[in-house]
């Protein structure tokens, strides 16, 4: 190429280049050296300018002390009663894995494959040392909870998870992200494939320390009649972004892709979805809710792409924001990209503060202002939490919301 526009690299980019080179990922290193981290000029990162937001990247995690750190770590911030736990501490998958009956669990070296051309995906692919693989062979009653923890000194951690749900099987899997209160950078990838008629509820909850940055990429492939419910909750890291890639690849496949950004002062949370309806007769109902207080900033980008052949697609995308302070910021960008001509697709976006008439109504019954506000906020979120069928999980997620409301 004859012409190049040099990009001024910051400390975060220089660290990433070094880390990539040390594992031989020269192509990705080169890409960052040339283009830098994505800025707002890159559409997918328009509201989450990584170059500005990610100022520094800590050293790659040192795995040698992991076991010791895991033993010293405090209690988990979220525990689904009766769940089967699998811990991934500092990116390392334990060797003595156990699983409920009906599940095969395994450990592999390296990350999970993804064809997504995205810098965070490339970073994860290059830097994840190990991945956990779960194969759900038949329907499970027990919730599987995967505890991703980053403990000890500030570290850059990449880990990966692969989930296969066999034809007709059903499962509920919860991933919880947490760790010590320092400036970690976590980069997680989850690759999910659902067989014919399979049914999966996949919940990811970020409860990392506010000093840390949390990135996750979740890719879903749905075969015929597969039913997927996802729920992303951002309620921890100072900077969080989850990028969802659901692909509807078999007739009758349906996805309830949902998410919740809960942000306060100094937090930036981003849920971005790129959904592909690839074949005829698939349906989806993405629903995202953001609540911002203080100077918190929440971002929702949702894109539905309907392929030329994907006739009779029925997809409705909704993003709703609730601003609890004058300084709060909520950015919402729903997009439809439709190549088929016989579809029912729609998108909507609303944003506002608490409804004054509703506040007055509750207060006129004797409910004090603060309690009335909490009630309305809970009510706003309930549409996302209510469909979670497992009672213990539902209770745990309500506690996350209540914890956030109490300012934890």
Partner 1 sequence: MTTPILEIRNLHARIEDREILKGVNLIIPPGEVHAVMGRNGSGKSTLSYVLAGKEDYEITEGEVLLDGENLLDMEPDERAAAGLFLAFQYPIEIPGVATMTFLKAAMNAQRKARGEGELSTPDFMRAVKAAGTDLNIDTDMLKRPLNVGFSGGEKKRAEVLQMALLQPKMCILDETDSGLDIDALQVVSKGVNALRNAGRSMLVITHYQRLLNHIVPDVVHVFSDGKIVESGDKSLALQLEAKGYADFDTAAA
State which of residues 110, 361, 395, 399 lies at the interface with partner 1 (CB under 8 A): 361
Say which residues have a Cβ less than 8 Å from residue 272's Cβ, sequence separation at least 6. 44, 48, 241, 242, 243, 244, 299, 300, 301, 302
- Name the one residue in this structure whose structure tokens are 């004058």: 326
CA 200, CA 158: separation in Å to the nearest integer?
Answer: 24
Residues 183-222 that bind partner 1 (CB under 8 A): none
Q: Does 383 bind partner 1 (CB under 8 A)?
A: yes
Q: Which stretch binds partner 1 (CB under 8 A): 56-64, 196-204, 334-342, 363-371?
A: 363-371
Nearer to partner 1, 339 or 360 (CB): 360
Q: Does 378 bind partner 1 (CB under 8 A)?
A: yes
Q: How far is CA 164 from CA 103, 132, 133, 138, in A?
A: 10, 11, 8, 11
- State both tokens at 378: 């809970």
State which of residues 341, 356, 406, 407 lies at the interface with partner 1 (CB under 8 A): 356
Q: Does 351 bind partner 1 (CB under 8 A)?
A: no
- State both tokens at 18: 């070094």
Q: Does 363 bind partner 1 (CB under 8 A)?
A: yes
Beta bridge partners of 88: 148
Q: Does 371 bind partner 1 (CB under 8 A)?
A: yes
Judge whether 321 and 298 are in contact, CB under 8 Å. yes
Q: Does 402 bind partner 1 (CB under 8 A)?
A: no
Q: Does 354 bind partner 1 (CB under 8 A)?
A: no
CA 137, CA 161: separation in Å to the nearest integer?
Answer: 17
Coil, strand, or helix at residue 18? helix
Q: Which stretch binds partner 1 (CB under 8 A): 119-127, 168-176, 202-210, 377-385?
A: 377-385
Q: Shortest approach of partner 1 to residue 349 CB, angstroms?
A: 17
Nearer to partner 1, 7 or 354 (CB): 354
State which of residues 75, 326, 365, 406 lies at the interface with partner 1 (CB under 8 A): 365
Coil, strand, or helix at residue 44? helix
Q: Does 358 bind partner 1 (CB under 8 A)?
A: yes
CA angle 87–220–314, rounded 5-degree value: 140
Coil, strand, or helix at residue 70? helix
Nearer to partner 1, 43 or 371 (CB): 371
Q: Does 362 bind partner 1 (CB under 8 A)?
A: yes
Q: Does 324 bind partner 1 (CB under 8 A)?
A: no
Which DSSP letter does residue 225 get? T
**Of 234, 226, 235, the residue nearest 201 (C-alpha):** 226
Q: Does 342 bind partner 1 (CB under 8 A)?
A: no
CB atoms within 10 A of CB 59: 12
State which of residues 76, 211, 367, 392 lies at the interface with partner 1 (CB under 8 A): 367
Q: Which stretch binds partner 1 (CB under 8 A): 177-185, 232-240, 245-253, 354-362?
A: 354-362
Q: What is the 3-state secondary structure (H, E, C) of 334-368?
A: EEEEECCCCCEEEEEEEEECCCHHHHHHHHCCCCC
Q: Which stretch binds partner 1 (CB under 8 A): 64-72, 135-143, 302-310, 355-363?
A: 355-363
CA 146, CA 158: separation in Å to the nearest integer?
Answer: 15
Q: Which stretch binds partner 1 (CB under 8 A): 147-155, 182-190, 278-286, 359-367?
A: 359-367
Nearer to partner 1, 23 or 376 (CB): 376
- Name the one residue in this structure whose structure tokens are 């769940």: 83
State which of residues 353, 360, 399, 402 lies at the interface with partner 1 (CB under 8 A): 360
Judge whether 271 and 259 are in contact, CB under 8 Å. yes
Size of interface with partner 1, in residues (CB under 8 A): 25
Nearer to partner 1, 196 or 378 (CB): 378
CA 162, CA 139: separation in Å to the nearest integer?
Answer: 17
Residues 16-35 that bind partner 1 (CB under 8 A): none
Q: Which residues bind partner 1 (CB under 8 A)?
A: 355-358, 360-369, 371-372, 375-376, 378-383, 386
């Amino acid at each position: 190429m004859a012409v190049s526009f040099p990009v001024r690299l910051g400390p975060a980019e220089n660290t990433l280049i070094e880390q990539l080179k040390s594992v031989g990922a020269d192509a990705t290193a080169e890409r960052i050296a040339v283009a830098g981290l994505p800025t707002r000029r890159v559409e997918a990162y328009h509201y989450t300018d990584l170059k500005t937001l990610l100022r520094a990247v800590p050293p790659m995690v040192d795995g040698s002390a992991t076991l010791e750190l895991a033993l010293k770590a405090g209690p988990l911030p979220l525990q689904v009663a009766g769940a089967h736990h699998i811990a991934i501490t500092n990116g390392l998958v334990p060797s003595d894995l156990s699983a409920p009956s009906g599940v095969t669990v395994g450990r592999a070296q390296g990350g999970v494959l993804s064809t997504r051309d995205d810098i965070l995906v490339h970073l994860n692919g290059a830097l994840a040392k190990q991945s956990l693989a779960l194969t759900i062979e038949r329907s499970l009653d027990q919730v599987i909870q995967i505890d991703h923890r980053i403990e000890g000194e500030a570290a850059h951690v990449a880990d990966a998870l692969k989930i296969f749900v066999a034809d007709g099987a059903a499962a509920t899997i919860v991933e919880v992200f947490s760790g010590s209160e320092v400036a970690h950078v976590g980069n997680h990838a989850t690759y999910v494939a659902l067989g014919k008629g399979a049914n999966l509820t996949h919940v990811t909850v970020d409860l990392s320390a506010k000093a840390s940055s949390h990135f996750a990429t979740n890719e879903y492939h749905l075969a015929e009649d597969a039913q997927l419910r996802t729920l992303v909750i951002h309620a921890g890291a100072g900077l969080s972004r989850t990028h969802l890639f659901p692909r509807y690849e078999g007739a009758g496949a349906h996805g309830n892709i949902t998410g919740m950004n809960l942000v306060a002062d100094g937090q930036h949370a981003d849920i971005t979805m790129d959904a592909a309806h690839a074949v005829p007769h698939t349906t989806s109902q993405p629903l995202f809710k953001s609540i911002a207080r203080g100077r918190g900033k929440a971002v929702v980008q949702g894109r539905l792409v309907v392929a030329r052949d994907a006739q009779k697609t029925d997809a409705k995308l909704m993003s709703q924001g609730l601003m609890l302070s004058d300084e709060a910021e909520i950015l919402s960008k729903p997009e439809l990209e439709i190549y088929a001509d016989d579809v029912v697709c729609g998108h909507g976006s609303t944003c506002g503060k608490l409804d004054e008439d509703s506040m007055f109504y509750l207060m006129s019954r004797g409910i004090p202002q603060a309690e009335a506000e909490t009630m309305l906020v809970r009510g706003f979120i309930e549409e996302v939490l209510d469909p979670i069928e497992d009672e213990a999980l539902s209770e745990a997620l309500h506690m996350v919301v209540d914890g956030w409301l109490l300012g934890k």
